[in-house]
């Protein structure tokens, strides 16, 4: 079928091990896999299991190597197995991780975060991003003695019963006193504010719109300012959910460039470069409320992830990682745009360049996106057809150029395969239900 030999991808190792693992997983893991790392809604050739990770690359269970443009869905900011971060982690692990109380590193880390994040005067640590967003709601409700939280429709804030995007197994009461507005839409915000009346506890919002399955969008400065003003006027709490974007866009909150400060901010994923740690940061006004709630977890006070976070923050402060991510992201965006144009595709790249999302125009059931991603995978580039991606500082210009070259071949192959493409059954079902 391929007429240009140069466009034929290197044949990947057959994914026999992955298939065997999937068969075994079907027996002992519900549905074979769950959550955001399930391949159920990914192209059929995507591996489910990975054996190795190093720098910007991952290796599937069959030994195939990929440039990983997902970065484990965000946690990988400086590279998998980063030398100085993992050394800080393992050295602390050898000294002590858990104990009957936290390590002095917890105080160091709280101080470092307060020094780095302008609005923050205090920090509470936890494990999941969902822990941080849930704690934020508790602090806001404790502070205000009010109930209502306004969220933007489609924004992801975690998978607890109050916020999981699939409500199965939850109660309507789990979402009581939540109101919805549309991201960047002043009128919808005003409607929600009017409905909340004097019972508004908080507004929770992501720093930019990074919802799955649709183009990403920057926050409009006016909208951010309106959120801030509305919370000020009503004594409500503005919560910025930085779990996904935190530390990839700014060395402060992602809104620091707008001059809009939240009252609370939620952090996770990249905070310790993949070691399990999340955090809720807050301003002085929320300190008493934060000390009044009871939240905890068996592993929240572990010292080794805090050692990793301290080294991660040192790199955030002292390296040019952010400028590098922007530079690499621009290179990728321009390279892909040129390749898509060459092959006649309208290829939408949205969001910050270091957190890109790729969607094809006129592709309502994502068959083009799936076809292209599938071809990219066969060329050793792991990209996602409907979730934003992440760049990391372990990537090089050569990695980006390899991704662009693979894209050139993938677009060519997509043109050839186009007449026979079918939508993924799961995506077809999902899209028809929306």
* Closest separation in Å from C-beta 99 to its own copies: 4
x/- track of binding to its own copies for residues 317-356 (CB under 8 A): ----------------------------------------
| Secondary structure, 3-state, 143-155 | HHCCCEEEEECCC
Tokens 């967003």 belong to residue? 133
94 scored as a contact of its own copies (CB under 8 A): yes
Taking a C-beta distance cutoff of 8 angstroms, is the pair 306, 106 a contact? yes
The region of 99-107, 185-193, 208-216, 420-428 touching its own copies under the rule CB under 8 A is 99-107
Least distance in angstroms from the C-beta of 67 to its own copies: 11
- Tally the C-alpha atoms within 13 A of residue 4's C-alpha that lie toward its C-beta: 11
Among 99, 153, 233, 338, binds its own copies (CB under 8 A): 99
For the bound state, the minimum distance from the C-beta of residue 274 to its own copies, rounded and expressed in Å, comes to 5
Judged by CB, which is closer to its own copies: 106, or 322? 106
Torsion angle of the four alpha carbons 198, 201, 205, 207, in this order, in degrees rounded to the nearest 10: 100
Question: How far apart, in whole angstroms, are the C-alpha atoms of residue 10 and residue 4?
Answer: 13
Shortest Å distance, C-beta 24 to its own copies: 5
| Sheet with 381-382, edge to edge strand ranges | 50-54, 57-60, 65-68, 381-382
Per the structure block, which two tokens stand in for 312?
A: 């991660």
Q: 378 to 397, contacts with its own copies by CB under 8 A?
A: 382
Closest CB to its own copies among 38 and 432?
A: 38
Residues pairing with 267 in the sheet: 279
- Residue 85 beta carbon to its own copies: minimum distance, rounded to whole angstroms: 11
Neighbour tally for 265: CB within 10 Å: 30
Q: Which of 100, 344, 419, 425 binds its own copies (CB under 8 A)?
A: 100
DSSP calls for 192-247 = HHHHHGGGEEEEEE-SSB--TTS--BPPPHHHHHHHHHHHHHHT-EEEEE-TTTTT
Distance of CA 172 to the CA centre of its chain: 27
Q: Which of residues 211-250 bind its own copies (CB under 8 A)?
A: 243
**Bridge partners, 209 (sequence order):** 217
Q: Which is nearer to its own copies, 102 or 335 (CB)?
A: 102
Which stretch, 2-10, 92-100, 311-319, 422-430, contacts its own copies (CB under 8 A)?
A: 92-100
Report the nearest approach of its own copies to the CB of residue 81 (Å).
Answer: 7
Q: What is the closest distance, in whole angstroms, from the C-beta atom of residue 14 to its own copies in the complex? A: 16
380 phi and psi, to 5 degrees? Answer: 85, 20
**Pattern 15-44, its own copies, x by CB under 8 A:** --x---x--xx-xxxxx-xxxxx-x-----
Rounded-to-integer distance, Cα 193 and Cα 385, Å: 35
Q: Which of 116, 122, 126 is nearest to 160 (CA)?
A: 126
Instruction: Indicate the residue among 288 and 397 with the shorter CB distance to its own copies.
Output: 288
190 in contact with its own copies (CB under 8 A): no
Q: Is 102 a binder of its own copies (CB under 8 A)?
A: yes
DSSP at 76: -
64 is an interface residue for its own copies by CB under 8 A: no
Is 65 near its own copies (CB under 8 A)? no
Which runs of E-coded beta strand occur in 262-346? 264-267, 278-282
- The minimum distance between CB 411 and its own copies, in angstroms, equals 22
Residue 267 near its own copies by CB under 8 A: no
Alpha-helical runs (H) found in 117-164: 129-144
User: Are 356 and 395 contacting, i.e. CB atoms less than 8 angstroms apart?
Assistant: no
| CB neighbours of residue 428 within 10 Å | 15
- Residue 252 binds its own copies, judged by CB under 8 A: no
Nearest to its own copies of 76, 184 (CB atom): 76
**Are the beta carbons of 356 and 345 closer than 8 angstroms?**
no
Q: Does residue 265 bind its own copies (CB under 8 A)?
A: no
Residue 189 CB-density burial (10 A; 0-12 exposed, 13-18 middle, 19+ buried): buried
Residues 124-183 that bind its own copies (CB under 8 A): 124, 127-131, 134, 137-142, 147, 159-162, 164-166, 168-171, 173-174, 176-177
> Under the criterion CB under 8 A, does residue 269 sit at the interface with its own copies?
yes
Total residues at interface with its own copies (CB under 8 A): 114
Choice from 65, 287, 314, 327 touching its own copies (CB under 8 A): 287
Residue 308 contacts its own copies per CB under 8 A: no
CB of 122 to its own copies, least distance (A): 5
């Amino acid at each position: 079928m391929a007429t240009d030999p140069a466009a034929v991808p290197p044949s990947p190792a057959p994914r026999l091990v992955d298939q065997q693992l999937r068969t075994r997983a079907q027996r002992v893991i519900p549905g074979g896999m769950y959550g955001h790392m399930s391949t159920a809604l990914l192209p059929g050739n995507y591996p489910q299991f990975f054996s190795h990770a190093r720098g910007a690359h991952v290796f599937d269970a069959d030994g195939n190597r990929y440039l990983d443009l997902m970065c484990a869905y965000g946690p990988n900011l400086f590279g998998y197995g980063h030398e100085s971060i993992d050394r800080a982690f393992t050295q602390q692990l050898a000294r002590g991780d858990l104990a009957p109380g936290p390590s002095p590193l917890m105080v160091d880390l709280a101080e470092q975060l307060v020094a780095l994040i302008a609005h923050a005067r205090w920090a509470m640590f936890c494990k999941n991003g969902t822990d941080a967003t849930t704690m934020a709601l508790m602090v806001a409700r404790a502070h205000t003695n009010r109930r209502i939280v306004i969220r933007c429709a489609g924004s992801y804030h975690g998978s607890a019963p109050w916020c999981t995007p699939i409500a199965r197994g939850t109660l309507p009461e789990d979402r009581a006193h939540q109101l919805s507005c549309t991201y960047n839409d002043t009128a919808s915000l005003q409607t929600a504010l009017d409905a909340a009346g004097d019972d508004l506890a908080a507004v929770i919002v992501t720093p930019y719109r990074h919802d799955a399955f649709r183009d990403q969008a920057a926050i409009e400065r006016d909208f951010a300012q309106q959120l801030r003003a509305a919370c000020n006027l009503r004594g409500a709490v503005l919560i910025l959910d930085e779990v996904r974007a935190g530390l990839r866009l700014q060395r402060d909150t992602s809104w620091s460039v707008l001059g809009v400060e939240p009252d609370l901010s939620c952090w996770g994923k990249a905070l310790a470069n993949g070691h399990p740690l999340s955090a809720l940061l807050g301003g002085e006004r929320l300190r008493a409320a934060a000390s009044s709630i009871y939240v905890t977890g068996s592993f929240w006070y572990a010292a080794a992830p805090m050692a990793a976070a301290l080294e991660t923050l040192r790199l955030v402060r002292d390296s040019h990682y952010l400028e590098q991510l922007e530079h690499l992201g621009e290179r990728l965006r321009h390279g892909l745009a040129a390749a898509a144009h060459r092959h006649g595709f309208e290829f939408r790249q949205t969001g910050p360049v270091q957190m890109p999302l790729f969607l094809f125009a006129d592709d309502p059931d994502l068959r083009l996106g799936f076809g292209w991603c599938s071809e990219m995978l066969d060329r050793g580039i792991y990209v996602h057809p409907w979730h934003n991606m992440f760049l990391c500082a372990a990537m090089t210009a050569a990695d980006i150029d390899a991704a662009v070259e693979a894209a050139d071949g993938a677009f060519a192959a997509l043109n050839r395969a186009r007449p026979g493409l079918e939508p993924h059954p799961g995506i077809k079902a999902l899209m028809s239900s929306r």
